[in-house]
Amino acid sequence: MPFIPHSESDVRAMLAAIGVDQIEDLFDEIPAALKAQTLQHVPAGLPEMDVARLMRGYAAQDAGVLNFAGAGAYEHHIPAAVWQIVTRGEFYSAYTPYQAEASQGTLQLIYEYQTMMTRLTGMDVSNASLYDGATALAEAVLMAERCMKKGARRVLVPRSVHPAYRKTLRTIVDLQHIEVVEFDFCHAGATAGGIAADWLARQDFGAFTALVVPQVNYFGVLEEVDALTDWAHAQGALVIGVINPLALAVLKAPGQWGAKGADIVIGEGQPMGVPLSSGGPYFGILACKQEFVRQMPGRVVGRTTDLDGRAGFTLTLQAREQHIRRAKATSNICTNQGLLVTAATIHMALLGPEGLRRVAAHCMRNARALRERLAALPGVHVPFERAGFHEFTLALPVSAGTVIERLADARILAGVALDEDFPELGNALLVCATETKTEADLDRYAEALGRALR
């Protein structure tokens, strides 16, 4: 800590008041054998100059890698201005803006974020925000049950949804006695890698509250969202869309899916200005139709006018105290990923609609070009031919783990092996190419993969 407020005399006075001689006496229940007497593997102290030299040596060993791994966390270019602005003191240290009179800047930024998300998703209202995409899905399922009042307490989830999302969903809703019914994606033919809408129409799942529809799905495949949405609505159920926000710059907005549009939309906000940063923190997106807004979890900022007619912003639709209502609350999320929402808002404002479209289109071109290069290698083929965004699945003649290890020696992250979550796909590798990759990068990957397979 940069500042410890208690002096030695303060400490002695507090110890005397509770009747102990030293701070160690407060931990006397810990057996002596479990206490570390000395830090054996920590070297002796060094002068500042030597420490700087040592750290430069460590930094030099981190030469970086060429990254073709995705699976829910993506490498995108982030303009330098984004985090220069985000790390200004007024943003960097801001807490949940309960006091509107002292938080107008933060509240306006969140309001702008919500506006941007509703325009991307085609929904009526957005919150700001949830912890990440996986927990946002669980929150959306709980929300769907509340919206339906007498819901079936069953939700249909295709296996083409991210495995981590499905595991998180089960962890959270099992204790709420909501059944998660998983069904398989198509493995052959023109619809391979996604949900076959005609097959789904022939199934009898009984009553269910909501259908989860991923767009883009875990394999990078585009789903038949119009047919799936109309089918779920015909069954009297809601539709929860799972989206990549960047992909919506070039794809149909969920609010336009089918005849009526999706009802709730969730996603991971990381592609919008948030670095990979070893797995987080990220932030979850959640938007919905106006009719469901009172069941929406998390924070919502509204715009109003004060007594003098000036525009003002405030948290709305829920009181701070609602979070202590436990199971009766619409959400127990209080302070959340506000700093990441700030980054996403600045990122989207800098790029604008046209900039986002260009980034998304560049991702699609790179993925298509790389897929063509890799599919031309002996023994390699693409099992799912449906259109995709910036990810695709490869079937390899050797294990994906072996390929990943061999390409790591060439400082290339080859992708994500699918055998653990989808053993039926065999030696399958999920590969991603974003706008950060050049033609030379694509060639380097193809050459390295060819050598690894030989």
User: pLDDT (tens digit, 9 = 90+) per residue, 322-355?
Assistant: 556 666 777 766 656 788 999 999 999 999 999 9
- pLDDT, one tens digit per residue, over 86-124 is 998 888 776 677 777 778 888 999 999 999 999 999 999
Q: Return the higher-pLDDT residue of 189 and 407.
A: 407
- Cα(216)–Cα(242) distance, integer angstroms: 8
- The pLDDT, as a whole number, for residue 105 is 87
Amino acid symbol at 71? A
List strands edge to edge, sheet with 416-417: 391-395, 428-432, 416-417
- Cα(102)–Cα(50) distance, integer angstroms: 46
Q: Which is it for the CA torsion 10, 16, 22, 23, positive or negative?
A: negative
- The pLDDT, as a whole number, for residue 99 is 78
Per this entry, what is the length of the chain?
454
DSSP state string for 64-129:
--EE---TT-------HHHHHHHTSHHHHT------GGG-HHHHHHHHHHHHHHHHHHT-SEE-S-
- The pLDDT, as a whole number, for residue 1 is 41
Residue 267 forms beta bridges with which residues? 243, 285
Q: What CATH code is assigned to 66-77+358-453?
A: 3.90.1150.10
Q: Are 248 and 256 in contact (CB under 8 A)?
A: no
Residue 312 burial by Cβ neighbours in a 10 Å radius (0-12, 13-18, 19+): middle
Total-model pTM: 0.87
- pLDDT, one tens digit per residue, over 58-67 is 888 877 899 9
Amino acid symbol at 274? V
CATH fold group of domain 80-346: Aspartate Aminotransferase; domain 2 (3.40.640)
**C-alpha to C-alpha distances, 58 to 51, 65, 96, 353, nearest whole angstrom:** 11, 16, 38, 41
Domain boundaries, the chain: 8-61, 66-77+358-453, 80-346
Q: Are 431 and 391 in contact (CB under 8 A)?
A: yes
- Cα(138)–Cα(152) distance, integer angstroms: 16
Residue 95, token pair as written in the block = 């807490």
Residue 209, token pair as written in the block = 């509250």
- Cα(295)–Cα(331) distance, integer angstroms: 9
φ and ψ at 427, to 5 degrees? -85, 75
Residue 341, token pair as written in the block = 């929402």
- Spell out the SS3 assignment of 418-451: CCCCCHHHCCEEEEECCCCCCHHHHHHHHHHHHH
- Cα(258)–Cα(20) distance, integer angstroms: 71
- pLDDT, one tens digit per residue, over 1-45 is 455 678 889 999 999 999 999 998 999 899 988 888 788 888 888
- Cα(152)–Cα(237) distance, integer angstroms: 9
- Cα(235)–Cα(258) distance, integer angstroms: 14
Give the HSE-up count for residue 392: Cα atoms under 13 Å, Cβ half-sphere: 29
